[in-house]
Amino acid sequence: MCKGIFQKMIDLDPNSNCVFTAIGVLKTEDEVKQFYKEYIEALKIKNDTNLSAKELAAKNVGYICSYFSDEAMRLWYETLNIEHPIFGKTYPTPEEAFKKGQEMGEQLKKTNKKKGN
């Protein structure tokens, strides 16, 4: 039986998240599309969130892309028409990302305080 590209990414580095591996390894639109299709199918089986498999895949891939080069981010964002769940299709500087994280942390504190947590 022929292994799909999703399983090949798992096998390539079993100790890493397969999305990290895929973003670092896959270089063509066809490879990216095939991986994403198979990743969504895998999430349909194992998904303990309230998001659909497609929504979860978009958020996961969109977020993880931010750890890679602008070139890799563009390939995945444009090929799959996805974006970072916080920054959209922008490429923030480390300072901008840090500031946004601080803002989100403050907002979360306020929300939790209102809930009594």
Q: Tell me the pLDDT tens digit for each residue of 15-38.
A: 999 999 999 999 999 999 999 999
pLDDT at residue 112 greater than cutoff 80: no
Q: Between 85 and 77, where is the model more confident?
A: 77
The DSSP secondary structure of 29-55, one letter per residue, reads HHHHHHHHHHHHHHHHHS--SSS-HHH
Over residues 42-58, mean pLDDT = 89
Which residue range(s) make up the domain with 50?
Answer: 5-85
Spatial separation of the C-alpha atoms in residues 12 and 9, rounded to whole Å: 5
Q: Who's near 99: CB < 8 A, 6+ residues apart?
A: none
Q: What percent of the chain has pLDDT over 70?
A: 97
- Whether 70 contacts 91, CB under 8 Å: yes
Same domain? For 72 and 103 the reply is: no
Same domain? For 81 and 96 the reply is: no
Same domain? For 96 and 51 the reply is: no
Predicted local distance difference test score (pLDDT) of residue 2: 62
Q: Who's near 7: CB < 8 A, 6+ residues apart?
A: 38
Instruction: Give the SS3 label for residue 89.
Output: coil
Same domain? For 46 and 103 the reply is: no
Sole residue written with tokens 């895998």: 42
pLDDT confidence tier of residue 117, bands split at 50, 70 and 90: low
pLDDT at residue 99 greater than cutoff 80: yes
Over residues 103-112, mean pLDDT = 82
Phi, psi at residue 98, to the nearest 5°? Answer: -60, -45
Same domain? For 101 and 58 the reply is: no
Kindly report the average pLDDT of the chain as a whole number. Answer: 89
What is the rounded (10 degree) CA torsion for 22, 83, 72, 96? -120
pTM beyond 0.85, yes or no = no
The total number of structural domains in the chain stands at 2
Same domain? For 75 and 33 the reply is: yes
